[in-house]
A = this chain, B = another copy of it.
Amino acid sequence: MSLSPAAPAMQSVRDYLPLAKARLDPGIWRYLADGDGAGDEQALADIRLMPRPLRKLRGGHTRLTLLGQELAHPILLAPVAYQRLFHPDGEVASAMAASAQGGQMLVSSLASQPFDDIVRAASAGGGTGPWFQLYWQGDRARTLRLLQRALAAGCTAVVLTVDAPIKQATLQLPDHISAVNLEPGEPPATSGSAVFDGWMAQAPAWDDLAWLRGQTALPLLVKGLLHPDDAERAIAAGCDGIVVSNHGGRVLQCGPISIHALPAVVERVDGRVPVLFDSGIRNGRDVFAALAFGATAVLVGRPAIWGLAANGAMGVAHVVRLLRDELEMTMALTGCARLADISRLSVC
């Protein structure tokens, strides 16, 4: 929309995509892009919002308190594995960016840098320690040791991912990149069904969640629930939050569209705990849409990685800022001065 050749190229999150693609090894790009998430993006884009002009909005803002933490905006960085695949600065860069923007980051169990370094980067940016995304480690003892390492480093909340029990087709990692915080793994059992007796035998079950609840007093969330009955059961198990997510379409082919599943979960949870939303967020208008359907905050995965690949911590920070600016503009045009003003009434 400019005649000037000097205009900044990065005016929206989507502008980072081609830059990231150009910088990454094609195999890594395919790994990042893999999955069945196009339906999520389209479903969000199909949501139409009703402008409400002429309202007084001076002093509006996007601040919120989430599980006791003060955040400048409701845009969290999703727990993406092996971030050094995308930029040498890896998770440390993401943590710095999230913190500098007044937001929060979820550190993956498959982080490619030590928890201590990541937490330190977050603190240097002025933020509290990041949240820790926990993958079940096959049994309780191994899982507990991993959890303890993350908490000792200074993570401030625990998010158990439950929707990816099956080890995904292995990405052949470059030699210098690994999940440095994990213990060396054991091969899955191979007698009987590879699925039922192998991978699934290492997956957590509801009783494991109850056990986990007893291991920490920090906030505990479950990520990857889409059915209201499961949300109910998670609350009954003492969880402090739900992350509605289809894992970016990377696990179950043709699973639910996350945004379509969100309202039923929100209705069932009925405010007892915050419901976060993950999957398909590509701009600030999508953030608004998710909040309009009842989410308290959102997780952003691939867009942040586009920024990371393109420009390290600066790129991640800019992506978060763009999302927040677009969220503010959407709020302004729909007449919402605060997050609490966002509701289904804004949806056409």
Contacts and interface: CB of A to CB of B under 8 A. Distances in A.
A18 to B, nearest CB: 18
A33 to B, nearest CB: 10
A25 B3 contact: yes
Interface in A9-30: 11, 25, 27-28, 30
A340 interface: no
Main secondary structure of the interface of A (DSSP, over half): loop
Nearest to A227: B50
A174 B2 CA distance: 11
Interface residues of A, number: 84
Contacts of A112: none
A23 B251 CA distance: 33
Copies of this chain, count? 4
Contact of A332 (B7, B169, B199): B199
Most chain B C-beta atoms within 10 Å of own C-beta, residue among A173, A200, A261: A200
Contacts of A53: 162-163, 165, 203, 224-225, 230
Contact of A200 (B58, B203, B208, B256): B58
A59 to B, nearest CB: 6
Given A52-B227, A227-B52, A200 B60 contact: yes
Interface string A50-70: 111111111111100000000
Given A1-B34, A27-B2, A53-B165, A196 B328 contact: yes
Contact of A58 (B162, B163, B197): B197
A206 interface: yes
B193 A61 contact: yes
A263 interface: no
A2 B171 contact: yes
Contacts of A169: 1-2, 11
Nearest to A253: B285
Interface string A160-177: 001101101111111000
A97 B223 CA distance: 41
Contact of A195 (B3, B163, B325): B325
18 contacts: A1-B31, A1-B34, A1-B171, A2-B27, A2-B169, A48-B257, A51-B227, A51-B246, A51-B252, A54-B205, A56-B205, A57-B196, A57-B203, A60-B200, A166-B332, A195-B332, A253-B285, A256-B348
Given A49-B255, A58-B196, 17 more contacts: A2-B27, A3-B171, A3-B174, A51-B227, A51-B251, A53-B225, A54-B203, A54-B209, A57-B203, A163-B333, A166-B329, A166-B332, A193-B328, A195-B329, A252-B330, A253-B283, A255-B333
